[in-house]
Structure formats: structure tokens, C-alpha cells
Amino acid sequence: MSITLTHPGKGRKVTVPDDVADSYISQGWVAAGSPAPAEQEPVDISKLKVDELKAHAEEHGIDLGDATKKADIIAVIEAAGEQKEESGAGSDDAEAGSVPADADGGADD
């Protein structure tokens, strides 16, 4: 069987086998006809306690390393956020560039 999923940000739809649907859903895709997941409000990490900061880091897959003090934990979380923004900056270009411009077999000839 298969399921149709929609990307909430781009509106693209794909139909995938059930056994890979979870992978798409974990990346933000939703079943067609389902409401899009609610946007999360930005978290002001400076107002969080150390245990809340650690939970926030774990939730977002951020390795705190040896950071144990609040200021150090915040610095690691902020650096991870900056890296994420930088690495995601060209994601649309990579998707659009995955097919060579002349992939039509030379129809322009």
C-alpha cells in the first residue's frame, strides 16, 4: 500500500510506500488532508533553567559536550542553531539542481 504526503512549507505532494512514510513524516511531511503541524514559538533560551536547557538540547539533538554552566550551554545551543541555519541555506538549490539542465535529451537542438 502507499500513502500520499504533503510538505507543509512547499505544498509538494508525494505518494510513498507505507514502509517509508515514517521517514518522510519525521522530516515534517504530513498525510494529505491532515492539518499541518503547528509552528512552534521560538524559545528564549536565556530564560530557561539549566535542566530545561539540557532538555531543550536533547530534544533538538544538540551535543552539549562538557558544557555544564548555563552560559556555556546557551553558547553551544546558539552555535548549533547558527550551524543549522547555514547548512539549510541552500537546500532548495540542491533540490532544484538535482536534474541537469540538459536532461531533456537535447531537445533544444
Q: Considering the chain, what is the average pLDDT of its residues?
A: 74
Residues 86 and 67: beta-carbon distance below 8 Å: no
Whole-model pTM? 0.45
Whole-number Å distance between alpha carbons of 53 and 77: 8
| Burial of 5 (C-beta count, 10 Å sphere; 0-12/13-18/19+) | buried
63-103: per-residue pLDDT in tens? 999 999 999 999 999 998 877 777 764 444 444 433 344 44
Residues 32 and 50: beta-carbon distance below 8 Å: no
* Mean pLDDT in residue range 47-72: 91
Location of C-alpha cell 536533547: 58
* Mean pLDDT in residue range 12-19: 84
Q: Which H or E element spans position 87? A: helix 70-88
